[in-house]
């Protein structure tokens, strides 16, 4: 998949807390597990078309590398979450939630093309947090992740504009994998 990697947009104009706020604004208006962000932005095992296993970076399916480095580094992520204004943080349970009025303003401040981009990045992080059977142990709570996945799938147009074919295939295969969990069917 990495040979099909598209050019990465730069997010340098945003500091880490703004990047996290922008991404969080497009997730479901429920508690966001830290693990969703860490797993969704880290490298994951995937089957190849030849039946082999390969490690695939989140940047290979369209997540900007600077967003990957923020979200996949748990100490940096927790520090950034703690610095978010207008967010309820429960560090002991590894969840946070952005106030809905703030999330709404964060979404509205973007041009429609940028909204699509942030929504796609939120979708990539969310679907990649789901374990693939036989490749990885289940380290996530489906009840905490699926509301975000369903919210994003319902809010994205059917043809997922802005997602590469590689990303669409990875998303589709992950949805097939997710059907084995209660609450996803």
**Domain extent listing, the chain:** 13-178
Q: Looking at the DSSP assignment, which residues form a beta bridge with residue 33?
A: 95
Where residue 27 falls (left for φ over 0; alpha for ψ -120 to 50; beta otherwise) is: beta
Question: Residue 55, SS3?
Answer: strand
Q: Which of 1-15, 77-91, 170-184 has the lowest mean pLDDT?
A: 1-15
What is the structure's pLDDT at 14?
67
Per residue in 109-125, pLDDT (tens digit) is 999 999 999 999 999 99
Q: Which of 164, 129, 162, 135 is nearest to 147 (CA)?
A: 129
């Amino acid at each position: 998949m990495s040979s099909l990697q598209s050019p990465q947009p730069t997010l340098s104009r945003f500091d880490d807390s703004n990047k996290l706020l922008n991404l969080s604004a497009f997730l479901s208006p429920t508690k966001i597990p830290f693990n969703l962000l860490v797993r969704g932005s880290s490298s994951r095992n995937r089957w190849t078309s030849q039946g082999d296993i390969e490690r695939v970076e989140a940047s290979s399916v369209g997540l900007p590398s600077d967003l990957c480095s923020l979200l996949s580094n748990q100490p940096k992520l927790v520090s950034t979450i703690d610095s978010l204004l207008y967010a309820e943080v429960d560090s002991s349970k590894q969840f946070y939630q952005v106030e809905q009025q703030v999330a709404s303003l964060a979404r509205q401040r973007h041009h429609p093309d940028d909204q699509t981009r942030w929504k796609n990045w939120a979708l990539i992080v969310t679907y990649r947090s789901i374990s693939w059977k036989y490749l990885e142990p289940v380290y996530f709570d489906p009840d905490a992740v699926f509301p975000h996945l369903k919210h994003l799938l319902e809010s994205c147009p059917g043809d997922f504009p802005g997602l590469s074919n590689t990303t669409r295939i990875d998303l589709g295969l992950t949805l097939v994998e997710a059907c084995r969990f209660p609450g996803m069917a």
